[in-house]
Structure 1
Amino acid sequence: MHKLERKNMLLDFLQAKPFHNMAEINEYVESLGIAYVTVRRDLKELQNEGLVSLSYGGVKTNEKSDNSTIKHFNQLNLNLKAKQQIAKLAQKLINQGDVLYLGAGTTCEEFAKQIKTEVKVITNSWFVYQILLKNSYIIEPILVGGKYREPSGVFIGSFAEKALEIEPFYKTFVSVTNIDYDGNLYNNNEGESHLEAIILAKAKYKYILADSSKFNSIGYEHFCNIKDIDGIITDRVVEINPEYLAKIIN
């Protein structure tokens, strides 16, 4: 069983009630054929992710672990191999000493984990920032403040926009929720889309990180077109207006 699948199943079990004693947990994992030492490691990771709290004799589910945090955790598992492939491709586009802007989303989070070049990174994503802090290759991680939007864990609004006017960055990597056949890029929130449009307008090199499931669909808020960026990094060849095929990196 894959680690992420195992953690998801364990989390689903724990969500059934506020507290489970270790005897209940052991009985459950034994039925799945999972070793005790493996479960202890998974529980510690879930605690570090803010989803549960370990206490003497059992595990307590955290108050917020049934809303945005759970949704984010589940989103991490979707198209994981594609995200890992995209992250490796994006790594090839950065050089030592670059100043990057890295947007929100689980694909950007995967990229943040895989950066193996000494760079400075600016982000408005709380989740990305937490990963950057643990990556020894990041010279200086900078989190842009502002109005916090809990569903996606990002800071937006006028304060964030003003902060980004001051901070210099050379290359930008952001994700999207949808890309239609004509190359229009979408996000699911007006505030996030507005901020990303500002970021893309400022950077010299602009890249989109998007797995193939994002293509041929229309989203809520349009903020850019493929013709205005340097490339879309994705996991495989996609169906799109032939005019934009040269912008696809896979």
Structure 2
Amino acid sequence: MADASVSASKGQRRREAILQVLKQQGRITIQEMVERFDCSEATARRDLEQMEALYPIIRTIGGAMYDGMNTVRDIGFAEREGLSYLEKERIAAKAAALINEGDVIGLSGGTTNYLLAKLLKHRSGITVVTNAVNIALELAGSEVQVVVTGGIMRHNSFELCGPLGEGMVSHLNIGKMFIGVDGISAAGGITTYSEQEAQIAKAMIKRSHVTYAVFDQTKVGKTSLFSIASLEELQAFITDVAVPAELEEAANKQGIQIHVADQTK
């Protein structure tokens, strides 16, 4: 017990020291952590994973960045699931109405797409390509054909990310892609908190015929750190209320269709 306590204390001191470095220089790499704190790469990655849940840091490919000033936070799926739940249900229902038998659709992670998957599992003749483990599990046992990309799972979102998944997606053809976002604006397009999720989303959009940005009103006007796509790369929005004039004007200029969910759902 004493050894375990000492080990935990040492780990906590190391993570506090890592946080101080992040505050001072803004970012840190895995290699820098290994050299500076005399730990293994696996330990460094575990430290960042634990710190991401406690401190305002962003895990990036090969390290982390300090994000003390960013207002768009990366929160866990369970917490996000309870936010704007009724609005997300209505958005999911609107999205489901746009999916037909024979469609090959893509679903990124996110609570709205998870609710969409719940609706689709009662359908047949549909193929779903997803990088989200929880969405794949929700569709397990249904008549929907499920294609899961590879990659390393992010515990906050259950999304599989990384070169392995991106490589697989490059061989697929997706008809309708539904992308969940952390922020959307006229200038910034659609954005997300995670660099890894942004990369896999870009790969899926590239292989899709039509891309729908799926978002509730709380995401409008916000810009998170990592860009997924500009508005010109999108074909449609699915949201819960009419979007502000600036975003509507920008969408119209790009020929983007705006689908507003039924208020009675």
TM-score (norm 2): 0.64
Equivalent in the alignment of 2:70? none
Matched, 1:212 2:222: no
Contact 1:181 1:217 in 2 (8 A): no
Query: Is contact 1:232-1:249 (8 Å) kept?
Result: yes
Query: What SS does the aligned partner of 2:190 have?
Result: strand
Partner of 1:132: 139
CA distance in 1: counterparts of 2:214 and 2:76, whole angstroms = 20
1:11-48 per-position Cα deviation (integer Å, ceiling 9, x unaligned): xxxxxxxxxxxxxxxxxxxxxxxxxxxxxxxxxxxxxx
Deviations 1:222-242 (A, max 9, x none): 121222111010001121331
1:172 aligned residue (171, 177, 180): 177
Moved more, 192-201 or 101-110: 192-201
The alignment partner of 1:130 has SS state of helix
Q: 1:117 aligns with which of 119, 123, 131?
A: 123
DSSP 3-state at the match of 1:170 = strand
| Counterpart secondary structure, 2:169 | helix
Change (3 A) 1:177 1:193: same
Contact persistence 1:188–1:220 (CA under 8 A): yes
- Looking at structure 1, the residues matched to 196 and 152 of structure 2 have their Cα atoms a distance apart, in angstroms, of 10
Preserved contact between residue 94 and residue 117 of structure 1 (Cα < 8 Å): no
Distance 1:71 1:197, change over 3 A: closer
1:248 aligns with 2:258: yes
Aligned to 1:94: 99
249 and 183 in structure 1: CA distance in 2 versus 1, 3 angstrom threshold? farther
Which amino acid in the other structure matches residue 117 of structure 1?
Answer: R
Per-residue deviation, residues 81-140 of structure 1 (Å, max 9, x unmatched): 111111111112111011111110001101101124320111110111111115x341x1
Tell me which amino acid in the other structure corresponds to 2:170.
E
Deviation at 1:174, TM superposition (A): 1.1
The one-letter amino acid paired with 2:155 is: E
Q: Distance in 1 between matches of 2:76 and 2:236?
A: 29
Q: CA contact under 8 A between 2:186 and 2:250: conserved in structure 1?
A: no
Matches within 5 A, 1:31-110: 71-110=76-115
1:202 aligned residue: 207
Q: CA deviation at 1:183?
A: 5.6
RMSD of aligned residue pairs (Cα, Å): 2.1
Amino acid of the structure 1 residue aligned with 2:202? A
- Spell out the pairing of 1:22-33 with structure 2 (5 A cutoff): none
Q: CA deviation at 1:167?
A: 2.9
What residue in structure 1 maps to residue 10 of structure 2? none
Q: Name structure 1 gaps, 5 residues minimum.
A: 1-63
Q: Give 1:206 shift.
A: 0.9
Contact 2:172 2:207 in 1 (8 A): no
The answer as to 2:168 corresponding to 1:163 is yes
Match of 1:13 in 2: none
User: TM-score with structure 1 length normalisation?
Assistant: 0.68
Is the CA contact (8 Å cut-off) linking 1:98 and 1:170 kept in structure 2? yes
Q: Percent identity?
A: 24
**Residue matched to 1:191:** 196
Deviations 1:166-207 (A, max 9, x none): 233211111000012336110111111111112111101111
Unaligned runs of 5+ in 2: 1-49, 55-74, 261-265
The residue that corresponds to 2:17 in the other structure is: none
Range that drifts further, 141-150 or 172-181: 141-150
- The residue that corresponds to 1:145 in the other structure is 150
